[in-house]
Amino acid sequence: MMKSALGRIYLTLVLIFLYAPIATLMILSFNSSKSRAHWGGFTLDWYLELFSNEEIMAAFRTTLFLAFLSALIATVLGTAACTGMQFMKRKGRSVIMGITNIPMLNADIVTGVSLMLLFLAARISMGFTTVLIAHITFNIPYVILSVMPRYRELNKSTYEAALDLGAKPLYAFFSVVLPDLMGAILSGFLMSFTMSLDDFIITHFTQGPGFDTLSTKIYSEVKKGINPQIYALSTIMFLVVLLLLFIVNYKPWAKRPHGEIKVTTKTQVIVASGKGGM
């Protein structure tokens, strides 16, 4: 009982330490006074001013487009990498998995500085393109981490049965393998989107003059002084990321009996469609 009570107290203290600053920021975003020590009453004015600020809205649109595009490309490349690794020997696959895990274990500042030096050495102008490449680079490992475990659970006989029934390899992959991977692929996409959405360090080192995402815009605005619009913007970003993380971890699409393989249904569809030999 004593250990259980201490565990609950410890967990409560950790949660307070982690989320008390964020809760304070969210409360201040509704404070009509610019003072952080005085409560002037409830207001939504800072949110209204935020949405009327064209610079912040431009950074918001850029951030969404960048996050979506980088997550989409990273998802395609990461899924293709998982497919290729499936045909490798175990030792080779282990080596490649270890290499892909390095960006996740590496410090963001090291990754950001390394990419910046690479772009400077290649004489690539800093801007949207360099930030996009950087985001794709650090997003691919998260896609692989999401898709690879699901790939290992697949029954190879499903794909082989489709080939035996006359389906070409590419058609068999899209008709049999891809639907079973879709939940993991969507999880990888949402995780990549989330990581890209709130990245600051790597973006800061690879962006060019005049280019801003929400994270870098917040940083530049905070240096100028107190701006309650930034409180409102940070609150919205936190809630969006929290929602995406909840969707990724909840994964309602992935709930099905363990080991369920839809061999009969998928092979019947291939034969019935008449596309097996196309």
Give the span between the Cα atoms of 133 and 124, in whole angstroms: 11
pLDDT over 80 (residue 254): no
What are the residues whose beta carbons fall under 8 Å from the beta carbon of 42, sequence distance 6 or more?
Answer: 30, 31, 32
pLDDT in tens, 262-274: 433 333 333 333 4
Q: What is the pLDDT of residue 135?
A: 93
Q: Which residue has the higher pLDDT, 236 or 267?
A: 236
Instruction: Average the pLDDT over each of 21-30, 137-146, 156-165 and give the range with the smallest value.
Output: 156-165
The percent of residues in the chain predicted with pLDDT above 90, rounded, is 15
- Give the pLDDT band of residue 227 (cuts 50, 70, 90): confident
Q: What is the pLDDT of residue 258?
A: 42
pLDDT in tens, 113-151: 999 999 999 988 888 999 999 999 999 999 998 888 888
Instruction: Average the pLDDT over each of 7-21, 67-81, 114-128 and give the range with the smallest value.
Output: 7-21
Average pLDDT over residues 205-221: 84
**If 0-12 CB within 10 Å is exposed, 13-18 middle and 19+ buried, where does residue 162 land?**
buried
pLDDT over 50 (residue 153): yes
Report which of 47, 31, 34, 64 is spatially closest to residue 235, judged by C-alpha positions.
47
Amino acid at position 118, single letter: L
pLDDT in tens, 163-184: 878 778 788 888 888 888 888 8
Q: Which residue has the higher pLDDT, 245 or 252?
A: 245
Average pLDDT over residues 4-10: 83
Domain ranges for the chain, please list them. 63-273
Q: What is the pLDDT of residue 140?
A: 92
CATH of 63-273, one of 3.30.1330.20, 3.40.50.300, 2.60.40.10, 1.10.3720.10: 1.10.3720.10
pLDDT in tens, 33-56: 877 777 878 888 888 888 888 888
3-state secondary structure of 168: coil
Q: What is the pLDDT of residue 1?
A: 66
Rounded to two decimals, the pTM is 0.75
Q: Which residues pair with 219 in a beta bridge?
A: none
Check: CB of residue 202 under 8 Å from CB of residue 195.
no
The residue with tokens 């899209």 is: 174
Both ends of the chain: CA-CA distance in Å?
67
- What are the CA-CA distances from residue 235 to residues 15, 47, 59, 229 (Å)? 18, 10, 16, 10
Average pLDDT over residues 234-249: 79
- What are the CA-CA distances from residue 67 to residues 37, 72, 197 (Å)? 36, 8, 6
Check: CB of residue 63 under 8 Å from CB of residue 214.
yes
Give the span between the Cα atoms of 268 and 278, in whole angstroms: 16
